[in-house]
Amino acid sequence: MTNSMINTDTQTGKKFQFDVIVIGSGIAGLSYCLECVRLNPTVKLALICKNNLTKSNSYYAQGGIAAVKDENDSFAEHQKDTLRAGDGQCNLDAVNEVINHGPKAIKFLQKHGILFDGDSANNPDLVKEGGHSKSRIFHVGDHSGKTIIDGLIEKVRQNKSIKIFTEFTAINLIEHNIGHFPKQLNEIIGLYILENKTKKIHSFIAKCIVLATGGAGKVYRYTSNPDSATGDGIAMAYRAGARVQGMEFYQFHPTLLYHPQKNNFLISEVVRGKGAHLYLPHTKERFLKQYVPKHMELATRDIIARALFTEIEKAQENFVWLDISHQPKELLLKHFPMIYHELSTLGIDMAKDPIPVVPGAHYLCGGILTNTAGETDLPRLFAIGETAFTGLHGANRLASNSLLEGVVMALNAAKKTKQWLNKPLADTRTIKPWCSESIIDYRRASQINAHWRGLRGEMTSYAGIVRTEDGLKDLLQLIHTRRTMIEDYYWKYSITQDLIELRNISLIAELIVKSALLRQESAGCHYREDSPQQKMYLLKKVIA
């Protein structure tokens, strides 16, 4: 054994049993927890987070949550905007279900203490974002996600039915066969989960498993997502046999701050909604007039992101300018206090200076195939929020529809999971504890982790905002080579959080690339340069 290799104590941990296990603490996971315990007062629920409770895409959402409120607005208008943004790929049933339950989602949040900007609950300060025909965004300044998540976390902590586990990383789903030849069917009855601090791997068993693990922005070099966004739920469900869909549709937000000290800070859509201009550093030309002269900075994200990518590449620049310095400072401080403060710490005064921005991976429109109640192909397994694919977003998500979908799915799933609480599990004594030789090779681990940098760079170059068939095919070969090495290390050595995330993100990369190859025509945020014209398909259901 070399000096870099050491034996450690076995990683086998304890067995925990609950009625429901929720993985993820974004708006979908937290909302589900609160609604589930309301509907089932005696339920024993575990909330699992691989970091702290605030490490989620929801927490960093600046804009807000879209819902119809104003008398000049309507469900039909919101649906039309959603369908237009989704570029002909939306599931009509999902669009109707989620949009029509917007007011219910807002009331749920208000009931749990969330106070949106405005004079009162009946007179909110609604704002407009790109792709919306009306002002319908409920918000709290420019830190809506933080306020909502902080409020929901407080309610979750107060509930004695909810047991919180932080610094616990889910590894794999535990399956139990309930089918017969020739068709076998596995139900999901738990997960193997790594306790990050002790390195022990515990078995968590439950009557119902809810995946609310968010997106996978870490697969790209530039992303607004936190480091924890590694597609864990999608990867685990796919390995267990659940279908995924829409993985080619990765939305890039047009305005991610370009700065060495803060490379995942988002400049909210609302900044453009309040009149910000985009232009090139060397010409100061508002280049969007060449692409979307009618809508300019208020066009949908896919179009603006593609325009930015094209202009940056053509001009050989590293970024473009986002400029709102023509607006009064008082307006900026009122609507963007958090953004103003963060930029000022970097020496940027948005009341005087333009802001350097680049497009960055922001939201995965695809995911685990579900209906709007989060039901997957596998019994007892639910997926909600960004980790799920209902078809609401189609090929491109409309701004501020994500928090809305998270709440609506959570409320629907809480009702649906109730049926599983009365169905006993099979004999869980047959579940084998995690078994590992627990050998750590520090040098090899460092080499394997180097795949992070290579994979993210390759995905950005070959499977980012603009794609080609030749590039995708080259990338798929590279990913297969990387995955072979990663899987080999996974089965031989001790399990760490870094290795779990790397294994998951490499699978997510493969699913994105395969999906991008299968969809040869362009649609929404999936842009094939070798086939830019979309073939219009009929809108269809994605799940019965």
| Closest to 74 (Cα-Cα) out of 42, 103, 49, 109 | 103
Q: Which pairing describes strands 12-17 and 201-205: parallel, antiparallel, or unpaired?
A: parallel
State the residue for tokens 């279908």.
243
- 366 backbone dihedrals φ, ψ, rounded to 5°: -90, -175
The confidence score (pLDDT) of residue 342 equals 92
| Angle subtended at Cα 173 by Cα 169 and Cα 178, rounded to the nearest 5 degrees | 165
The CATH fold assigned to 250-362 is Flavocytochrome C3; Chain A, domain 1 (3.90.700)
How far is residue 95 from each of residues 251, 304, 391, 414, measured CA to CA in Å?
18, 23, 8, 20
Q: How far apart are CA 66 and CA 43, in angstroms?
A: 31
How far is residue 148 from each of residues 65, 153, 162, 415, measured CA to CA in Å?
10, 9, 19, 22
Q: Give me the average pLDDT of each 10-residue run along the chain (544 residues).
A: 52 90 97 97 96 91 90 93 93 97 96 88 82 91 91 96 97 82 72 94 96 96 92 97 96 90 82 89 84 82 85 84 93 90 94 93 96 96 98 94 97 95 81 71 77 93 94 97 92 88 97 96 91 50 32
| Closest to 139 (Cα-Cα) out of 33, 315, 307, 273 | 273
| Closest to 312 (Cα-Cα) out of 287, 295, 292 | 287
- 78 backbone dihedrals φ, ψ, rounded to 5°: -65, -40
Q: Which pairing describes strands 208-211 and 381-383: parallel, antiparallel, or unpaired?
A: parallel
Q: Tokens at residue 51, please?
A: 């970091």
Q: Give exposure, 118-142, as e/b (b: 16+ Cβ within 10 Å).
A: eeeeeebebbbbbbbebbbbbbbbb
Ordered by start, the domain boundaries in the chain are 12-249+365-430, 250-362
Is the C-alpha dihedral spanning 520, 524, 530, 532 positive or negative? positive
Q: Where are the alpha helices (DSSP H) in 386-496?
A: 401-421, 442-449, 451-462, 469-492
Contacts of 443 (CB under 8 A, 6+ apart): 2, 4
> Which sequence positions are flagged as catalytic?
301
Q: Which CATH class for the 12-249+365-430 domain?
A: alpha beta
H/E run at residue 176: strand 168-177
- 150 backbone dihedrals φ, ψ, rounded to 5°: -60, -40
Q: How far apart are CA 505 and CA 486, in angstroms?
A: 11
Contacts of 258 (CB under 8 A, 6+ apart): 318, 319, 356, 357, 358
The confidence score (pLDDT) of residue 128 equals 84
Q: Cβ distance 136 to 68 under 8 Å?
A: yes
Q: Cβ distance 37 to 162 under 8 Å?
A: yes
Neighbours of 41 (CB within 10 A): 7
Name residue 445's amino acid.
A
The confidence score (pLDDT) of residue 203 equals 94
State the residue for tokens 């749990």.
112
The confidence score (pLDDT) of residue 541 equals 33
- φ/ψ region of 449 (left if φ > 0, alpha if ψ in -120 to 50, else beta) reads alpha
3-state secondary structure of 427: coil
The confidence score (pLDDT) of residue 534 equals 55
Neighbours of 438 (CB within 10 A): 17
H/E run at residue 337: helix 337-345
Q: How far apart are CA 458 and CA 186, in angstroms?
A: 35
Q: How far apart are CA 455 and CA 468, in angstroms?
A: 18
Q: How far apart are CA 395 and CA 415, in angstroms?
A: 28
The confidence score (pLDDT) of residue 492 equals 82
- 30 backbone dihedrals φ, ψ, rounded to 5°: -70, -45
Q: Where are the alpha helices (DSSP H) in 287-326?
A: 301-315
Q: Cβ distance 186 to 172 under 8 Å?
A: no
Q: Cβ distance 368 to 387 under 8 Å?
A: yes
